[in-house]
């Protein structure tokens, strides 16, 4: 494995510590120095570490790549069996079980530590002894606290976790940036390029949980004609290149492309890698972070597999609130700055991400557990401050107007019995004729540009009643408010969008049911005043407090309010019809769902940190609606300009009663009536409904 050569010096530097930690942990089971019930926890953690050190041995000896398929499956199951749904309620990873066993003072801490130790699976498969050693020493330090004869205090144990994260923040951040930006880190790429993809043993070399989804999608792609695979990959790579043209950015001066995708799609990704390399670009592929210092929740940033248990991920989404303070905030910012500086040449060459998303995961409705770590105002303030500072710092090293991206999505086998039909329909949706949509969308834009405001009203129980104020066009012959979005950065084709004026934009946005980043929201309602979120509710849980907390954590990203960053009209009625035909509309990812009706995004605008970069539609008109009253604060109070989130909420066509434009003289132009396009020149979009 090539990365072992990269890590050779680093591994040699910690090898002795690694071996000593391994030997010390192996003795836990023989000792009686820790009282029950804590002794049982440490014995189980020792057994888990032993499994990981066996993986390390397999990786360094090369034995991992010689194991027969049944042995690889057994190994994969052993590493993940304790958090699978059928075992989770008896696992220390479950905060409810852990708190029930150890009490509130220690239960949350020990469950969080177990979650952090699970992130060492990645270190084991990649042969990173430094990360392994740090995690093992964390366990030993905690063990030492519980060994003390005079008892242990909650403060001592929490300090062990605190200083573990604080002291290793720099190493963790540098390693993460290396994997994302440095083309010499080839762990995932080597697996894809150097293995026979018809031999599905390769799936188990990544170290992720391999479910039937990964296995079946890899099998299915292997059964498809090479022409189909190339068509899928070419749509993906062509969209990426076209994105640079749309952004007016120079692709030729960039030479690093970052691929992010779901395991099982290696046959398609292999072709994409070859295509990018044929353009003289280097490819990086990194793993989605799972460690405490970098862990996120929602959209996966890297390569990933189906979650072994979404409830486990949900339970641990706020673990950092357990220790985050002002000092940790400063440590995170300092580590990020050091990484930016060290990899400055790679950032300068970075072209942007090419993302392959998936949809059709099994339904998941989270259980909100009081025993899990929850956010608190103080920790949340420090976490948001660190994120904001790091995002602003990113601008210094990675100018967004010089980069682009693309996103495409495909279904997983777990979507149901019609998987193969849905897969082919998705290929069709992803490859629709851009030119036809561009023409009809331009008709919509021309009508919208006549107006000063737009009204969106629901029907059939949908309570939406929104007024959207449009920016004034000083020169309508050269300017427009709406971008004509075809299949480039956001595949598939199908929307026109703008950044509304916040002052005067108001009303109620309501959807009966929607999935956002894998979470279901029932009867979701937002109320806006002057473009800012004033109130919100949903019907998922029994109490108002639970429903508001659910929205605040997962849509508002713990902010008190958010602006409307985008208003758009989706035009991809074929994608809408596919969703209705197979009953999968609620499973469609935002990437496709946003094209199946009008939608509003809460958070930053689509032009975040690129507002000063001129963008033009195919007809040559400049899109001037790139700023709003919040983003313009970057000129005077940069820290107040961005919220670092953007979530699209779509009203399906069958809940849209009317969308109309109001001109300055008060006259109307009706665009959509009773869920159908009625504006002359756009009737062709209705064909998709059939």
pLDDT in the model for residue 487: 75
Quick one: which of 671, 667, 674, 690 has its CA closest to 682?
671
Considering the domain boundaries, does residue 421 fall inside one? Answer: no
Task: Please write the tens of the pLDDT for every residue from 500-551.
Answer: 999 999 999 999 999 888 889 999 999 999 999 999 999 999 999 999 999 9
Q: Are residues 253 and 115 in the same domain?
A: no
Same domain for 61 and 117?
yes
502 and 452 belong to one structural domain: yes
Q: How far is CA 464 from the centre of its chain?
A: 28
pLDDT digits (tens, 9 = 90+) for 333-357: 999 999 999 999 999 999 999 999 9
pLDDT of 613 reads 87
DSSP states of 162-193: HHHHHHHHHHHHHHHHHHHH-TT--HHHHHHH
Q: Is the pLDDT of residue 670 over 70?
A: yes
Work out the pLDDT band at 464, boundaries 50, 70, 90.
very high
Residues above pLDDT 90, as percent of the chain: 87
Is residue 151 included in any domain, yes or no? yes
Do 519 and 446 fall within a single domain?
A: yes
pLDDT-derived band at 641, boundaries 50, 70, 90: very high
Q: What is the dihedral of CA 583, 585, 587, 593, to 10 degrees?
A: 160
Q: Does residue 147 sit within a domain?
A: yes
One DSSP character per residue, 424-445 reads HHHHHHHT--HHHHHHHHHHHH
Q: Is residue 690 in some structural domain?
A: no
Average pLDDT over residues 661-683: 97
Which pLDDT value is given to residue 149? 59
Instruction: Tell whether 138 is covered by a domain.
Output: yes
Q: Tell me which residue of 415, 440, 435 sits closest to 425, measured CA to CA.
A: 415
- 169 and 201 assigned to the same domain: no
Sequence-separated (6 or more) residues with CB below 8 Å from residue 377: none
Domain boundary among 166, 181, 196: 181
Tens of pLDDT, residue by residue over 231-279, are 999 999 999 999 898 878 899 999 999 999 999 999 999 999 999 999 9
Please, which residues bridge with residue 533 across strands?
528
Q: Identify the domain containing residue 20 by its residue range.
A: 2-181
Which among 211, 203, 178, 361 is positioned nearest to 269, based on CA atoms?
A: 203
Q: Do both 468 and 611 map to the same domain?
A: yes
Task: Give the tokens for residue 317.
Answer: 């989404």
Domain boundary among 181, 202, 221: 181
151, pLDDT greater than 70:
no
Whether the predicted pLDDT of 189 surpasses 60 = yes
Give the pLDDT mean for 194-201: 98
DSSP string, 640-689: GS--S-EEEEE--GGGEEEEEEEETTS-EEEEEETTEE-STT-GGGGGGG
For residue 610, what pLDDT is reported? 87
Domain count, the chain: 3
Query: Can you give the pLDDT at residue 156?
Result: 87
How is residue 468 written in tokens?
Answer: 């959207």
pLDDT of the residue at 79: 98
259 and 293 assigned to the same domain: yes
Arithmetic mean of pLDDT over the chain: 94
Overall average pLDDT of the 319-340 stretch: 95
> Is 425 contained in some domain?
no
pLDDT tens for each residue of 386-407: 999 998 888 888 887 889 999 9
Same domain, yes or no, for 489 and 540?
Answer: yes
Asked whether residue 414 is domain-assigned, the answer is: no
- The answer on 574 and 462 residing in a single domain is yes
pLDDT above 70 as % of the chain: 99
499 contacts 565 by C-beta, under 8 angstroms: yes
What is the per-residue pLDDT across 30-86, written as a single tens digit (0 to 9) for each? 999 999 999 999 999 999 999 999 999 999 999 999 999 999 999 999 999 999 999
176 plus 209 within the same structural domain: no
**Residue given tokens 């150890």 in the structure block:** 102
pLDDT at 245: 86
The token pair that represents 210 in the structure block: 């391999």
Please say which residue of 161, 181, 201 terminates a domain.
Answer: 181
- Please indicate, yes or no, whether residues 138 and 280 belong to a single structural domain of this protein: no
**Average pLDDT for 426-448:** 94
Average the pLDDT over 143-168 and give the result. 84
Do 32 and 166 reside in the same domain of the chain?
yes
How confident is the model over 654-681, as a mean pLDDT? Answer: 97
Q: Residue 441: name the closest of 682, 136, 683, 95 by CA.
A: 682
Considering Cα of 491, then 496, then 501, then 503, what sign does the dihedral take?
A: negative
| Confidence label for 150 from pLDDT (cuts 50, 70 and 90) | low
Closest CA to 42 of 151, 117, 100, 121: 117
Q: Compute the distance between CA of residue 231 and CA of residue 326 in angstroms, rounded to an integer.
A: 50
Number of other residues whose CB lies within 10 A of the CB of residue 559? 16
Asked if residue 467 is part of any domain, the answer here is yes
DSSP 289: P
C-alpha Rg value of the chain to the nearest Å: 26
CA 679 to CA 449: how far, in whole Å?
A: 14
| H or E stretch at 210 | none
């Amino acid at each position: 494995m090539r990365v072992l050569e990269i890590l050779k010096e680093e591994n040699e530097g910690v090898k002795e510590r690694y071996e000593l930690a391994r030997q010390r942990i192996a003795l836990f089971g023989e000792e009686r120095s820790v009282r029950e019930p804590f002794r049982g926890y440490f014995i189980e953690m020792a057994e888990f570490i032993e499994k990981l050190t066996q993986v390390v041995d397999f990786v360094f000896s090369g034995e991992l790549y010689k194991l027969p398929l049944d042995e690889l499956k057994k190994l994969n199951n052993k590493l993940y069996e304790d958090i699978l749904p059928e075992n989770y309620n008896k696992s220390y990873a479950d905060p409810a079980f852990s708190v029930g066993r150890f009490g509130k003072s220690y239960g949350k801490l020990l469950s969080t530590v177990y979650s952090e130790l699970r992130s060492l699976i990645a270190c084991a498969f990649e042969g990173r002894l430094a990360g392994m050693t740090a995690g093992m020493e964390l366990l030993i330090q905690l063990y030492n606290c519980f060994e003390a004869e005079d008892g242990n205090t909650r403060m001592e144990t929490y300090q062990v976790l605190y200083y573990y994260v604080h002291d290793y923040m720099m190493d963790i951040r540098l390693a993460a940036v290396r994997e994302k930006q440095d083309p010499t880190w080839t762990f995932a790429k080597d697996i894809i390029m150097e293995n026979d993809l018809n031999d599905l043993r390769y799936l188990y070399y990544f170290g992720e949980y391999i479910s039937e989804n990964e296995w079946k999608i890899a099998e299915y792609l292997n059964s498809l004609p090479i022409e189909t695979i190339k068509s899928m990959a070419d749509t993906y790579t062509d969209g990426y290149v076209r994105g640079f043209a749309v952004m007016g950015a120079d692709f030729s001066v960039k030479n690093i492309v970052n691929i992010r995708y779901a395991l099982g799609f290696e046959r398609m990704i292999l072709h994409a890698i070859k295509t990018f390399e044929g353009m003289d670009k280097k490819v990086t592929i990194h793993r989605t972070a799972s460690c405490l210092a970098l862990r996120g929740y929602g959209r996966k940033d890297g390569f990933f597999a189906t979650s072994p248990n979404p409830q486990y991920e949900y339970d641990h989404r706020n673990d950092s609130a357990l220790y985050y303070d002002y000092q940790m905030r400063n440590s995170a910012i300092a580590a990020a700055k050091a990484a930016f500086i060290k990899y400055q040449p790679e950032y300068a060459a970075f072209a942007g991400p090419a993302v392959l998303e998936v949809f059709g995961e099994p339904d998941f409705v989270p259980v909100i557990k009081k025993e899990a770590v929850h956010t608190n105002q103080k920790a949340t303030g420090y976490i948001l401050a660190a994120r904001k500072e790091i995002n602003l710092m990113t601008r210094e090293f990675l100018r967004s107007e010089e980069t682009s991206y693309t996103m495409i999505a495909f279904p997983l086998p777990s979507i149901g019995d019609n998987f193969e039909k849905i897969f082919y329909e998705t290929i069709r949706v992803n490859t629709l004729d851009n030119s036809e949509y561009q023409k009809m969308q331009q008709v919509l834009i021309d009508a919208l540009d006549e107006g000063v405001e737009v009204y969106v009203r629901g029907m059939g129980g949908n309570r939406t009643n929104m007024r959207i104020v449009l920016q004034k066009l000083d020169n309508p012959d050269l300017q427009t408010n709406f971008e004509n979005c075809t299949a480039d950065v956001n595949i598939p084709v199908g929307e026109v969008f703008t950044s509304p004026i916040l002052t005067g934009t108001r009303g109620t946005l309501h959807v009966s049911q929607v999935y956002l980043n894998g979470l279901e929201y029932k009867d979701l309602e937002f109320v806006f005043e002057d473009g800012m979120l004033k109130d919100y509710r949903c019907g998922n849980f029994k109490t108002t407090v639970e429903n508001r907390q659910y929205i605040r954590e997962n849509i508002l990203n713990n902010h008190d309010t958010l602006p409307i960053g985008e208003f758009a009209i989706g035009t991809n009625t074929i994608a809408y019809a596919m969703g209705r035909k197979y009953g999968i509309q609620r499973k469609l990812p935002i990437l496709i769902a946003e094209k199946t009706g009008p939608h509003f995004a809460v958070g930053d605008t689509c032009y975040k940190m690129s507002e000063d970069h001129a963008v033009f539609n195919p007809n040559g008109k400049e899109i001037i609606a790139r700023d709003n009253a919040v983003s313009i604060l970057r000129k005077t109070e940069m820290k107040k300009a961005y919220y670092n989130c953007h979530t699209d909420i779509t009203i399906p066509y069958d809940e849209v009663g009317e969308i109309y434009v109001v001109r300055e003289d008060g006259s109307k132009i009706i665009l959509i009536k009773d869920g159908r396009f009625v504006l002359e020149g756009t009737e062709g979009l209705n064909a998709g409904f059939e």
